[in-house]
Amino acid sequence: MTITGFVLLTLALVFALTKQTKLFVVSVLTGSVFLIVAAVQTIFFNESVIWLMTLPQPWGTAEMGYTPLSAFFAIIIGFGSSMSVLYGSGYLKKYSREGLSSHLFFLGLLIISMNLTVYLRHSMLFFLAWEMMSLSSFMCILFEHKLSETRKSAIYYFSFMQVSAFFLLIGFGLAYKQTGSFDFGAFQDLGYLPALFIGIGFAIKTGFFPFYSWLPIAYPAAPSHVSGLMSGVMMKTGIYGILLLMAMTNISLTAMYVIAGISLLTAFLGVIHALAESDVKKVIAYSSIENAGIIGLGIAFAHIGLLTEHTVMAGLSMVGLLLHSLNHSLFKPLLFFLSGNISQQTHTREIDQLGGLQKRMPSTGTLFLIGSLAISGMPMFNGFISELFIYLGMLDGLNRNNFNLNIGSILCAAGLTFVGALALFAFVRLYGLVFLGEPRSDKARNAVEVSKSMITTPGILAGLCFLLGLPGSIYLNFFNHILQYQGFWFEITPALTKAFNLVSLVFLIIGILILIMLILRRRIVKEVHPTWGCGYEKPSSRMQYTGNSMIHPLAYFIKPFIKKQDVMNYDKALFPESFTFEAKVHDFIHETLITPVKKAVLAFLNLFAGIQKGNTQVYISYGLVFLLIVLTWAILVVK
């Protein structure tokens, strides 16, 4: 099953090289279907085929196959990549066919390598797949390589991924030193140091504080189907890695509290940047960081529950974090795809240039609304159910005689609500300013709806966002096998099932109420007039609230965490004729952490810049000097 899947995915690479987009899509889709079926079999029927491959010494034997946990992530990857490819085939139509084959090739390679990361259970092979994933995604970002901005962002992303790989490699090396094996199965009770290195490697990929500054730079630069794939799916390999690491390590309660704190900080910083940003794609990218934080909270509380032997807390948090990973892989690509629709039709991503798109692009707008509701965790959409699981996990731990845990739970629950409320603000602002009101520029005024092929894929995702949000109780049993395999099994009490059924009942009642009232409303007589402007007769779109003014009341509170710069250019004459204004949000991590490190590294490397003379004779003499040194060393030491 899996082999057929991988063969079909490899076949896609051939179609990519011959620029046969349709065949490429078909083979990726069928390949993904095979892989998903294999994964589903593993999760529900425990039918997992394990392949063993003997590698040359000292690499040992490599094990390949799905565990229930990796099978779950394989489903996310398979579904997410099919959606991305489907949308991409429509999205790429607008671009010239130049460079298409290499783009498709690397897209295919990215999909294969993502599938391999969850399939391989040998650290070195995993590392190879991981590197292949980083490199191919780097090439995918470079699709519009003629823009210097894209090149810069791609390099930024690339260096982060290399640092991540560096940490992983050291971590795996240390783990080998400790256990004498490269096999994930043999990694038991890893020490503090290897766990830290591997953890940092995965945290960079997922986008945890303080390593998240690449997300808002890389995602907007990539074409929309790739940014959807990267944030919705590739990020999950990081989550998978962290879960894998947790199972291999001796975890301590203190470490889990630290992780909870970091996650909360990640979520908070992500969401306030999402609030302040004025680029549609950047807002969505920052909200990825927020979601990484929420998933991180789930990870922390799941393991706290495990350590304090509180199975319900552990189980509920685990279900919550897995479900949130799944949900995030639905609504995040949805929003990225739709932002691709917006930028393709209006040629801008500035919030303050858009507006009134709901009337001009009704399908895109409605789907975007569903995505915003889902990502803000509003009831009746999937984001709520997974957050509910995480909340219940946190609060279920209360009233036990563990003071730290209790205070931690209360503060984390309140923190999560705070983040949720700010996310709601960020997405009301995003949707409201982009799609509602009057257009703020001609670009938005002249926008028209995209072709059908760019609506169907987001449509499927939005439908799932809605449908998966309704029944809460089925998830309790859905994850049983994974929980059992990972040691998170918990007893599902009737009260718990009842609670989730009642949540669905409330949704049903609300739905019926909405329907009844909408039907009643049809009888109302309506007159259409312009918006009331305090008696002012000539309302213009420039009077509307902008992205900046919208967050003004909160600006006072988030100022310490955000570096915002207003650039104003105007004539110094008495009657200035031209005037430009630009508000820039500077990333706090980028400014305070990355730039100094970059400068230090560059300064260090500059010390050696003198070596490079550009003169062949000099280089030959370097070789001579080197040989002399080696010779002297050999004579003196060997003797």
Partner 1 sequence: MIINIIFILIVPLLFLGIIIRVKAIWAGRKGASILQPTYDVIKLLRKSEIISSSTGFIFEIASVVSLALLLGASLLVPFGNYHAIISFKGDFILFTYLLAFSKFISTLSSLDTGSSFEGMGASRELSYTAFLEPAFLMIMASLVYATGLGSMSELVASHTVNMSNTWSVIISVLTILGLFIMMLIEGSRVPFDDPTTHLELTMVHEVMVLDNSGPNLAGMTYAGALKMTMYASLISYFVIPWERGLWFVTGFYFLMMFLQAVAVGLIESIMPRFRMSRNLELAIIPLTLVLLVMFALVVYRFGGV
Q: Which of residues 535-564 bind partner 1 (CB under 8 A)?
A: 539, 541, 543-545, 549-554, 556-557
Q: How many CA atoms lie within 13 A of 417 on its CB side?
A: 9
C-alpha closest to that of 296 among 248, 252, 255:
255
Contacts of 84 (CB under 8 A, 6+ apart): 107, 225, 226, 228, 229, 232, 233, 333
Residues 412-441 vs partner 1: string with x where CB under 8 A?
Answer: -xxx-xx-xxx-xx--xx-xxx--xxx---
Beta bridge partner(s), residue 61: 54
C-alpha closest to that of 234 among 140, 341, 342, 101:
140
582 φ, ψ (degrees, to nearest 5): -140, 130
* Smallest distance from partner 1 to CB 383, Å: 10
- Piece of the chain touching partner 1 by CB under 8 A; list 107-115, 202-210, 355-363, 480-488: 355-363
Residues in 563-592 that interact with partner 1 by CB under 8 A: none
- Which of the 8 DSSP states describes residue 122? B
Check: CB of residue 125 under 8 Å from CB of residue 172.
no
Q: How many CA atoms lie within 13 A of 450 on its CB side?
A: 30
Residues in 509-538 that interact with partner 1 by CB under 8 A: 509-510, 513-514, 517-518, 521, 524-534
- Piece of the chain touching partner 1 by CB under 8 A; list 90-98, 121-129, 149-157, 401-409: 401-409
* Smallest distance from partner 1 to CB 336, Å: 21
What are the tokens at 160? 């982060």
- Piece of the chain touching partner 1 by CB under 8 A; list 1-9, 318-326, 346-354, 395-403: 395-403
Examine residue 624 and tell whether it contacts partner 1 (CB under 8 A).
no
Burial code (b: 16+ CB inside 10 Å, e: under 16) for 57-72 equals eebbebbbbbbbbbbb
Which residue in the set 53, 258, 407, 467 belongs to the binding site for partner 1 (CB under 8 A)? 407
Size of the site for partner 1 (CB under 8 A): 82
Examine residue 59 and tell whether it contacts partner 1 (CB under 8 A).
no
Residues in 101-120 that interact with partner 1 by CB under 8 A: none
Examine residue 359 and tell whether it contacts partner 1 (CB under 8 A).
yes
* Smallest distance from partner 1 to CB 320, Å: 12
Contacts of 507 (CB under 8 A, 6+ apart): 379, 380, 470
Q: Which is nearer to partner 1, 134 or 409 (CB)?
A: 409
* Smallest distance from partner 1 to CB 578, Å: 24
* Smallest distance from partner 1 to CB 402, Å: 11
Contacts of 614 (CB under 8 A, 6+ apart): none
Check: CB of residue 208 under 8 Å from CB of residue 263.
yes
Q: Which is nearer to partner 1, 456 or 546 (CB)?
A: 546
Examine residue 185 and tell whether it contacts partner 1 (CB under 8 A).
no
* Smallest distance from partner 1 to CB 377, Å: 7
Taking the CB of residue 598, how many other CB atoms lie within 10 A of it? 13
Q: Which is nearer to partner 1, 41 or 497 (CB)?
A: 497
- Piece of the chain touching partner 1 by CB under 8 A; list 124-132, 280-288, 507-515, 589-597: 507-515
Burial code (b: 16+ CB inside 10 Å, e: under 16) for 254-279 equals ebbbebbbbbbbbbbbbbbbbbbbbb
What are the tokens at 187? 């990694």
Residues in 445-504 that interact with partner 1 by CB under 8 A: 495-496, 498-499, 502-503
Examine residue 396 and tell whether it contacts partner 1 (CB under 8 A).
yes
Which residue in the set 123, 325, 339, 376 belongs to the binding site for partner 1 (CB under 8 A)? 376
Structural element, H or E, at residue 569: strand 563-570
Which residue in the set 399, 580, 616, 617 belongs to the binding site for partner 1 (CB under 8 A)? 399
* Smallest distance from partner 1 to CB 259, Å: 20
* Smallest distance from partner 1 to CB 398, Å: 5
C-alpha closest to that of 299 among 229, 203, 366:
203
* Smallest distance from partner 1 to CB 146, Å: 37
Q: Which is nearer to partner 1, 533 or 596 (CB)?
A: 533
Q: Which is nearer to partner 1, 550 or 594 (CB)?
A: 550
What is the 3-state secondary structure of 40-79?
HHHHHHCCCCCEEEECCCCCCEEEECCCHHHHHHHHHHHH
C-alpha closest to that of 543 among 555, 551, 532:
532
